[in-house]
Structure 1
């Protein structure tokens, strides 16, 4: 398979997608779905400017917030970087920042490696860094890797230790840095990606750039009519709106609020083409990443850039009903109090009547934290919210609010807050010290990380422990789902049988994670999974639909066939919405293999390596398919191209050696 040029690439992508969808056959003719995207029966978006006259205090708080400044137009008020003909050198590439003809411009290496001139098309962020968005072709926006350190007033590279030349999937012009696909949804209001697979181009739209009022509250047309009381508001016209005319009702409690914030503050897979209608349940719009290796430490502490939701779900604060706005002003984004005062509004001798289970005791005291007053060690956040730095300078706090467990560090190698600060001491020292401070602590009991840590290397050996965690209703749902995620690759008929009750668990993340266990019992799987095709949450329905693709079913009742068709259609739409992502092409290639549509599989895997030549697993799948189809010469040629893009990959070199005569 030769490397495709631009036009051929677009055509090839569309053909592959069509073949994959055709592989589902009659399922494509299923009944239409009810969707949450904006329709004629949804109020229109009116823009944040329409809100300010009536909501002046909130608007003033929001105006200079990180939400408002998440994406702005380039001008002298928004650009903080030094564009006075400054230069930055990284691995032989000199990037130059200047102003020409009234525009802010960047001269840097383009997708083919040649130096090109790009006007700045957008500005991302306010502090502690600012990133600049460049348009590499009509409608396609890319985020530059050379960014401005606002505090130190310097240019720096986000990946200083990596060599990412043009043509690498991780180059700033590559698919992982495409603003339209990776970033814009959470930096804009009412965003639609609008990727066209026929032309491999974007025609993205939004009501406004930046996170405006309607990003959280929902479209404002009905609320505006309700507030003006001019006779235009008809509550019967709109379905499912709050009493004041919004799709998102913040009066329904902490859970709804948290899920609304989580849409952007989480590591997740999106199902829709852009911003879900505010008020859409999280698990109906996204699939949350579990506590996987590379993302989280074995005890659930943050490792990679996972944002907040996955951490907060692990916390006792979440289980007790604490909401984001108990600590943060939702309009300014600032904390409601400074220092330890943000914590002592509840964790004190006075307590908080909203949370009656809190022990009434003094926490902001050396008798509790064993550090000098006003020292770093006396700050609640430094012990209970470890900080990790992302994007070079952006420190972010773990929101699991965990009690430090240096004793677990000894056993699992997960970090702990004690040796974060006392980096010249060992975890064993920290464990002994904490045990001396709290000899009778109830926080040193069994922990799921004692199973997760060894299970990451050998899940089969930890199957019983993982099942016990998954079945423990007192543990956070994300922990239980993560146990199932570890079990899925090694499931057996016995594990599948034991996992059946979890398919009806109250937590949608547990239900979703329980689905793949049933692969080990294909004869019984269809009967167990059929009810999930009509689950209230799309994440569960799609998970069930994926499993049916590999099942061989002679006949199903008409109602089950209809439900399966609808769920399959939802899955197909979610894939179409992400057809510009290499990882989606890998999934579609897998679908081609499952449905024995080898042309579609080759097309999808070929598209994946066209987007990202470093996807070795896609190259190897292409070569294996070609060899299995009897075309060994094509397989060797594929491996030659793969090795040219990945010259140091041993697996590719060995595979080619095996195929050569």
Structure 2
């Protein structure tokens, strides 16, 4: 291993965080003061917020908030009977614990209000888990979130496992001013929050300075605080639609977080998160929602986003409800009158059978039925696709992605629906190509679709998330030619594109890669800097100018901090193992992969790497022992049994 790689490996695995990211501004960050402090001056907003899904995102486990039937009721699945009881005004759940033993715990918290309510259990001091048997508020019944899976205590997806940990996976979007505070050494949490539930300061920012500004009577000192708006808040909602959308997207997106809990409201999205691209398992090839992706990724694909539509054009930010429940929500813009804010709108009658070809007032005549398909998550929680797409049953024929037509007309084929659309709109969207056609083929045969995927990646008329997703598909097959052709994307205006373009440079010769990526170590966006730092880990550079070294150290420190913030994620242990392999630090890699399988015994790829490292180091007995442990945890995994047979020969 060369000297540069050794230094970087030591920095990531051994040393404490450097001071490279210390705040340069000596002024203060305001403190959180609580939603009650806002109510006196903002009575109307507070009344609207009370009882909202935001306010009730996380509540105490008391009689005012628990809706489930705890009157000695039970629920049985896979041979495990869970009981729900009440004693002395406290609510209890009795079920199988992390060791499989039936145990009784007090309910530690309540998540949500409708259409379901989930209950939280503190299994260890400070460690909170979300329980998988939940309450259906509308049908008044207990049900399991994953009834088709046999999730016993030895499964990492059991309610006591790492993927159901409230501190790491859920709390930051259900609380105000949340800090996870995980200690890898003791594997414990000391999480805190300013307020449970999504309060005023979750969106507007900590209110201490704003309160002082409002009540100062001329004594307010703006120089005491750092980076505040004219009304002394960290988030400025007068800054336009994009700022508002990014603030909402922090929770309403599928993403990787860089920070430890809530970013300070007003933090640009890509400084706090890396947005998940349109990957298989998350989205269909044409970008429609598949898994629970929380709106932002689909909205970024929409024409509405491109034209400057903001969340509050359709949603009341305080009640968290739509501003209308019928087609008037859409016809405030999509009508013969239009909307002067959006001058490119086609003025036409849309709420009419001449457009939707369904009886007036029917389900098929609702704008959302055709343009916002709905999918259920958590069993009963319907979420709508926010890409606002024109139905394309013709794409279903080619890509197998779903379509709104056969969602309703389930007894008909996609071809039948495509023929009807062609009759209604002979010059409609079905006559035009769609990126989903190339993406679907590229998911099956990336090499065979390189030219098509490059065409998407470099097409500045497509949404940035689509272009970044095409690059994401290309990354594993990148070559000098692909890296050279996509070099201009390194300076694209959108950070999603720049992040994805960085990974494509892996195919470039090392000298070209370094020269192209050095400027991005100082990119204004943290997501880009971290992506760039990752690529420098494997580079062998004998000497760098002082300013480049400083930029690299700063970016590496940001990446290091991001890693440290997610050490309780099995997925992050896999990243750490990969770093160990890249830097030839095999002991560090073994340690990380071992930590991954401790957290998630079903993580087959981690077991495989442990076995391969032991075998490569000539330790056959250790490799066999690891395989035996892996097979014991995953008896039905054929690949492990085959690997053991090969190794035993």
TM-score by length of 1: 0.95
Find the counterpart in structure 1 of residue 588 from structure 2: 600
Match of 2:551 among 560, 563, 566: 563
Does 2:208 align with 1:221? yes
1:79-228 aligned at under 5 Å gives the runs 79-228=66-215
The yes-or-no answer on 1:325 pairing with 2:319 is no
Regions of 4+ moved over 4 Å: 18-21, 23-31
Compared CA separation, residues 49 and 21, structure 1 to 2 (3 A): farther
Q: Secondary structure at the match of 1:108?
A: strand
Could you give the per-residue CA deviations for residues 29-80 of structure 1, whole angstroms, max 9, x where no partner exists?
86521569x9961011100000001111100010100000000001111000
**Structure 1 position 393 matched with structure 2 position 380:** yes
Mapped to 2, the partners of 1:488 and 1:606 lie a distance apart of 27
Q: Do the aligned partners of residues 450 and 420 (structure 1) sit closer, same or farther apart at CA in structure 2, a change above 3 Å counting? A: same
CA, structure 1 residues 21+520, in 2 after alignment: closer, same or farther (shift >3 Å)?
closer
Secondary structure, aligned partner of 1:456: helix
Distance in 2 between the 1:359 and 1:651 partners? 57
Report the counterpart of residue 6 of structure 1 in structure 2: none
Spell out the pairing of 1:9-48 with structure 2 (5 A cutoff).
22=10, 24=12, 32-34=20-22, 41-48=28-35
2:238 aligned counterpart, secondary structure: helix
Contact 2:503 2:535 in 1 (8 A): yes
Select the residue among 588, 595, 603 that pairs with 1:615.
603
What secondary structure is seen at the aligned counterpart in 1 of 2:456?
helix
Aligned pairs, how many? 643
Partner of residue 561, structure 2: 573
Q: Could you tell me how far 1:28 is from its partner in structure 2?
A: 7.3
How do residues 169-568 of structure 1 correspond to structure 2 at under 5 angstroms? 169-442=156-429, 444-521=431-508, 522-568=510-556
1:640 is aligned to 2:628: yes
Q: Residues of 1 paired with 2:26 and 2:339: CA distance?
A: 43
Does structure 2 conserve the Cα–Cα contact (< 8 Å) formed by 1:369 and 1:378? yes
Is the contact between residue 28 and residue 569 of structure 1 (CA under 8 Å) also seen in structure 2?
A: no
Query: Could you tell me how far 1:499 is from its partner in structure 2?
Result: 1.0
What secondary structure is seen at the aligned counterpart in 2 of 1:98? strand
Q: Distance in 1 between matches of 2:561 and 2:209?
A: 29
- Equivalent position of 2:570 in the other structure: 582
Deviation per residue, 1:188-230 (Å, 9 max, x gap): 0000000011110000000000000000000101111111133
Q: Judging changes above 3 Å, is the alpha-carbon distance between structure 1 residues 491 and 275 closer, same or farther for their aligned structure 2 residues?
A: same
Q: Under a length normalisation based on structure 2, what TM-score does the superposition of the two structures give?
A: 0.97
Q: Deviations over 1:74-121 (max 9, x none)?
A: 111100000000000010000000012331000000000000011000
CA distance in 1, matches of 2:220, 2:433: 57
Aligned-pair Cα RMSD in Å = 1.6
From the superposition, tell whether residues 77 and 108 of structure 1 become closer, same or farther in structure 2 (CA, over 3 Å): same
Give the CA deviation at 1:24.
Answer: 4.8
Distance 1:192 1:27, change over 3 A: closer
Determine the C-alpha separation between the residues in 2 that align with 1:69 and 1:627.
Answer: 53
Shift of 1:333: 0.6
- Alpha-carbon deviations, 1:368-422, whole Å to 9, x = none? 0000000000000000000000000000000000000011111111100000000
